[in-house]
Structure 1
Amino acid sequence: MFRHQGRGRNYAHNLKLASILSCVAGLVNIAGVLAVNTLTTNVTGHFAFFSEQLILLNYKMALIYLLYIAFFLMGASLSGFIVELASKKKSHNAYVVPICIESMILIIVGLLPTFVEIGRSFSTLISFALLFAMGLQNALVTKVSQSVVRTTHLTGLFTDLGIEFSQLFFYREIAEKMKLHKSIFLKLMIISGFFIGGIIGGFVFQYFELKTLLLPAIMLLFALWYDSILLRFYHLKRSLRHDE
Structure 2
Amino acid sequence: MFKHHGNKRNLRHNLKIASLLSFVAGLVNVAGFLAVQKLTTNVTGHFAFFVDEIFKLDFRQGFIYFLYIFFFFLGSFFSSLIVESLLRRNEKYSYVIPTAIESVILFAVAVFGTRLMADSPNVLAYILLFAMGLQNSLVTKISNATVRTTHLTGLFTDLGIELSQLFFYHEKLYRKKLFVSIKLRLSIISFFFIGGIVSGIFYSHLGLSVLLIGVAALLLGLFYNWIRFNIFLLERKYGRPLQHKNK
What's the TM-score once normalised by structure 1's chain length?
A: 0.94
Q: SS of 1:119's equivalent?
A: helix
Written as runs of structure 1 = structure 2, the 5 A alignment for 1:203-218 is 203-218=201-216
Alpha-carbon offset, residue 57 of structure 1: 2.5
Structure 2, unmatched stretches of 5+, are 241-247
Q: Is the 8 A contact 2:40 2:129 kept in 1?
A: yes
CA distance in 1, matches of 2:113, 2:48: 30
Q: SS of 1:3's equivalent?
A: coil
CA distance in 2, matches of 1:83, 1:7: 17
Over residues 196-230 of structure 1, what are the superposed CA-to-partner deviations in whole Å (9 max), with x where a residue is unaligned?
11011000101000101111111111101100001
The one-letter amino acid of 1:229's match is: I
> What residue in structure 2 maps to residue 228 of structure 1?
226
Structure 1, unmatched stretches of 5+, are none
Q: Is the 8 A contact 1:205 1:212 kept in 2?
A: yes
Aligned residue pair count: 240
The one-letter amino acid of 1:227's match is: N
Q: Which range moves more in the overlay, 30-39 or 163-172?
A: 163-172
> What residue in structure 2 maps to residue 124 of structure 1?
122
Alpha-carbon offset, residue 148 of structure 1: 0.2
CA gap of 1:172–1:208, structure 2 versus 1, over 3 A, is same
> What residue in structure 2 maps to residue 146 of structure 1?
144
Q: SS of 1:204's equivalent?
A: helix
Over residues 150-172 of structure 1, what are the superposed CA-to-partner deviations in whole Å (9 max), with x where a residue is unaligned?
00011111111111011101222
Alpha-carbon offset, residue 120 of structure 1: 4.2
Q: Is the 8 A contact 2:117 2:124 kept in 1?
A: no
What's the TM-score once normalised by structure 2's chain length?
A: 0.93
The one-letter amino acid of 1:131's match is: L
Alpha-carbon offset, residue 41 of structure 1: 0.7
CA distance in 1, matches of 2:16, 2:61: 39
Alpha-carbon offset, residue 241 of structure 1: 2.6
RMSD, aligned CA: 1.4
Alpha-carbon offset, residue 90 of structure 1: 5.5
